[in-house]
A and B are shown apart, each in its own frame.
Chain A
């Protein structure tokens, strides 16, 4: 029993860190730009497929894929923000949702055209393909790696936003666009930079998913974006701290639910979300708007 509790805990942690990696970019973009980016799941998917293509082109080396794939997606993110999203900032929310949803459909078909509709089996990450015994049961090293990467990204984001000059400008612009602009901050360029960085984070999640799932499918972005949205809502839209804790909670809850409360496994996360929306509609760390 003990080994099962530990292993389910580890499974929950790695699952949660995964959702965090995706939710972080989503939350950052919402927090600064105020845009709910549906296409974030597409960036995740593109990140995975590009990582896969690079690793195949460069002799099955996953690490090159992880480095280069998300960079290409960041460039795609640049084009999306610079030439499309920028035009709808002034419009009402439904226009932004429509535009980003249009990109979901476009990218879904693009993936089918470029990589085919079938699923692609992906190899493991060199150096991390083994499993290690923990209390007599095997656990994959790669998942331990994901568990470590999650908090690293969290700390990195925190340091970037709280400890650097760029972070201060980002925070200033997110709390008052006009004032920041009046003080000489080039807000449009800043928005572009944040969007590009957020896209890169989503694609990084996708790249890391390649060995984690071992399989790429054209609809993979839609599955993950729903969980990321749930996490963002629970944690408080726009709050990175909230997204991190929300992801941990959802990951652990669904892992323990599956193992110890199997009849309710599908309900638990949504009960949690419903509860949060009822008692604290702004989420754990969200500000009242």
Chain B
């Protein structure tokens, strides 16, 4: 009798586990079959995560946190990393480079971090790279987009400790140009941030589009300093130049303000095509709601309805259930980062930096955004994010992508002299 009861209980346990595994979805419970490595990994795996948690962009920090925390909860509920617990500590990066370095040193020297992750600003990422070589810990960048991080620090200077989970400026500049080449207009202008990120993206967009479409000209540029709240003079600059197309890498709250003020000034009635490389960010979609015009091109570093497969749908569902929010691209990147560490540590069988770098290089990882491959040369994660035309949908209180165009990462992400002719797609750098 007793035996029978026991076995039934065990049967129930097994059933529950299976159900839990099914609920977690295939992306999560991909058996890596590396339980043998379990014994080598000592103590918890500690991840020091830094993101902006104060000031006007504090909302981004919240979005990072949602993704990262959810992954930590899931991974620990499913047995941790190679049998040991995953721990995370979160610190405010404040967007200032000295604070980013201080955080990194605190994480490694005082808290005992095995891995670092996060970082929103490109300036911070560039300042951190040499520090990571010195601290000898892997840093997974989940937001900063400058191509110089991976091209110069990783590829040229050989800082092997730095990896990037999200699409870099290539997506905002090159992919945009490849979409723009098929649009029936000949003049483009920009309102973009008056710092490195804005200048680089516009340069990439211009050089590629000019090579693909010699008949196109670029008629005006207006640069808005960080913290701009009044875009009316910038909008007048553009309306005076009368371009057919507007390209803008304004992002977050400033993009929301620019679109609202552009609407009021009739900007979107005057231009025929609009391209917003980070317009599909969740804070922008939600912040603008129905005020985002229809039929403008938007993209992001992850878009919550792409890819349209079971794994992504399940993840978005679980995320919404956990946080009553749709995932932002930084949430997806933070979430996937934890799984990248899990997979690499289990493959390496240890937390040792060198071994983990070896495992991460060329590693392919199933994530909500699709399969990512960490390119060996520059440690950039290769995955596709669509460009799409905005439209209303009764299911959502904000605009979503209607018609979509996917420019594969393989078609526009290569740069430096990574071997072979494929390293030089249509663009000229």
Contact = CB atoms under 8 A, between A and B. Distances in A.
Interface in A70-127: 108, 112, 116-121
A213 B260 CA distance: 8
> At the interface, is chain B mostly helix, strand, loop or mixed?
helix
B265 A121 contact: no
Interface stretch (A134-142, A152-160, A200-208, A272-280): A134-142
Contacts of A137: 236, 239, 265-266
B232 A219 contact: no
B256 A119 contact: yes
A118 B233 contact: no
Given A131-B264, A138-B264, A265-B225, A217 B59 contact: yes
Contact of A259 (B63, B223, B237): B237
Nearest to A111: B58
Nearest to A7: B236
B345 to A, nearest CB: 31
B260 A118 contact: no
B265 to A, nearest CB: 5
A220 interface: yes
Contact of A214 (B53, B260, B265, B286): B260
B232 A255 contact: yes
A258 interface: yes
A251 to B, nearest CB: 9
Nearest to B237: A259
B286 A11 contact: no
B54 A215 contact: no
A131 B265 contact: yes
Interface string B255-285: 0110011001110000000000000000100
A262 interface: yes
Contacts of A8: 232-233, 236
A198 interface: no
B81 interface: no
Contacts of B194: 266
Interface residues of A, number: 39
Contact of A215 (B57, B233, B257, B265): B257
A222 to B, nearest CB: 7
Contacts of A265: 225
A120 B53 CA distance: 16
B253 A266 contact: no
A255 B232 CA distance: 8
A213 B264 CA distance: 12
A219 B236 contact: no
B229 interface: yes
Contacts of A259: 233-234, 236-237
B253 A217 contact: yes
Contacts of A139: 264-265
A265 B234 CA distance: 11
A119 B229 contact: no
A218 interface: yes
A243 B59 CA distance: 33
B280 to A, nearest CB: 16
B234 A258 contact: yes
Contact of B58 (A118, A121, A223, A266): A118
Nearest to B233: A258
A102 to B, nearest CB: 15
Interface of B: 53-59, 61-63, 194, 222-223, 225, 227, 229-230, 232-234, 236-237, 239-240, 252-253, 256-257, 260-261, 264-266, 283, 286-289, 291
